[in-house]
Amino acid sequence: MDAYYNYASQKGELLELSESEIIMLGGHVFSKDPDCGFQRFLEAFRSITWFSYRKDFPPISPSSYSSDSGWGCMLRSAQMMLYQAFVFHYLGRDNLAKNKGTSAGPLSLEILRWFADRADVPYSVHKFAQLGLNYGKAVGEWFGPSTVALAMSVLVSMHQPKELAVVTGSDGTIYGDIVTRASTTGTTKTCPWNPLLLLIPVRLGLDTLNPMYIPLIREVMSWPQSLGIIGGKPRSAMYFVGCQDDNVFFLDPHTVQPSIQMNDHFSTESFHCPAPRKMPLNSLDPSMCIGFYCKDHADFNDFWRRATEMSRREHSLFSVEEEAPEYATDEKSELTVEGFEDDIVVL
C-alpha cells in the first residue's frame, strides 16, 4: 500500500470511500471487507493497464512530435479501453477480480506490445494520430469521443485480433442487423458467432451532463459487458472504470513518462497506476464513448435485453433498433466526424 499512499499524497487526494459497494469493469462488485476494507478493489484497480502521456518516442510521421503531452489524452484513454477489451477477449472477464498485482504473463505482454510507441504496431499513438489525418485531424490535434471511437473501430478491423468483430454506434444507436452481419462474417460451425466490441459515442446534454442520465450511467457500468467509459471533464479526457454512489473512478493519462522500449525484458510498473482517483458523476462532460464487450451470442443477447429495456424508458443513454436505415448499412456504422465533433476540448 506504500505506492498508493505515495501517489495519492503527490496528487493531494487520499481516496475517501463510503460503505457502499463499488462497481467495476465487467460488472464486478467489490464490497467493504470488515478486516481489510476495500483492499480487493484497490488491488483490482492497480491491475488495470494504464496508458499515459509518453515522451522521447520516435517522431509521428509526417510531424516531428516525439511526445503526445498536451494533446494525446483521448488517444491514451482509447488505448486503455481497447487493452481492457483484449484482456476480456483473451483472458476472460474474471481476470480483473482474480488479479492482485501488476505482474504480466506472456499473453498480457504480447498484447501490451500492440500499444508500443512506434508506427509498426496496431494500436500505437502513432497509428491513431496517422489515422486521424484521414478525418481532418492533424498530428497533435485533439480527438473527441466520436472521432476516437471511429479510429478504434478502424484499427481493430484492420488488425482482426482472433475473430473479434467491432461495431460503432451511429447517432447513439446500435442496429441489430449490423451487429448480426459483423458477428457472423467469417464464422465456422464450431464458432458461429464472433465476440463483439461495441463502441457507442453519445452526447448526454448540451454544455453539461443532464442529471437524469446519472442513474443510467451507474446502471450500464454494472452490466457484465461493460468496458467503462471514455470521456472526462472540460479540457480533460480519462478512462472511467468504476463507480460508487454518485462518483466515478478513473485512470488519468495526464502524467508524462518516458517511452518504454518493449524489448524482450522490460518493466510494466509504469503501466499501472498506484491509486484510484474519483470525481462526481455530475462533473462529467456530456460527450463520451461507452464501450461493451460481448464474448458470445448469449452474452450479446443479454446485452441486447438490457439495452432494449433501458431504451424503452423515458430517458436512455443510447438506443437499439432491429434494422438500420439505409444511410447506416455499413457494419462499421459509417460514423462520420462532421456535425458530431463538438465533443470536449481535450488536453
pLDDT digits 0-9 by tens, 205-222 = 988 999 999 999 999 999
pLDDT for 341 equals 46
Confidence of residue 192 (pLDDT cuts 50, 70, 90): confident
pLDDT for the residue numbered 345: 36
Return the pLDDT at 95: 75
- pLDDT value of position 342: 43
Chain Cα centroid distance, residue 306: 20
Cβ density class 259-282: b for 16+ within 10 Å, e for less:
bbebeeeeeeebbbbbbbbbbebe
Please choose, from the candidates 176, 170, 138, the residue with its C-alpha nearest in 3D space to the C-alpha of residue 153.
170
- 145-183 residue pLDDT tens: 999 999 999 999 999 888 899 999 988 999 999 999 999
- Sign of the torsion formed by the C-alpha atoms of 91, 298, 193 and 190: positive
Report which of 203, 236, 213, 262 is spatially closest to residue 346, judged by C-alpha positions: 236
The span from the CA of 233 to the CA of 251, in Å, is 13
pLDDT, mean over the chain: 87
Q: Which three cell numbers stand for residue 217?
A: 450511467
Peptide bond into 62 cis (omega under 30): yes
Give the mean model confidence (pLDDT) for residues 187-195. 80
Tell me which of 23-37, 81-95, 117-131, 166-180 is least confident: 23-37
Catalytic site residues?
A: 73, 252, 254
pTM of the model: 0.90
Contacts 24+ apart (CB under 8 A), 133-140: 135/337, 136/337, 138/63, 139/60, 139/62, 139/63, 139/65, 140/63, 140/65, 140/71
Q: How many CA atoms lie within 13 A of 81 on its CB side?
A: 35
pLDDT at 72 over 60: yes
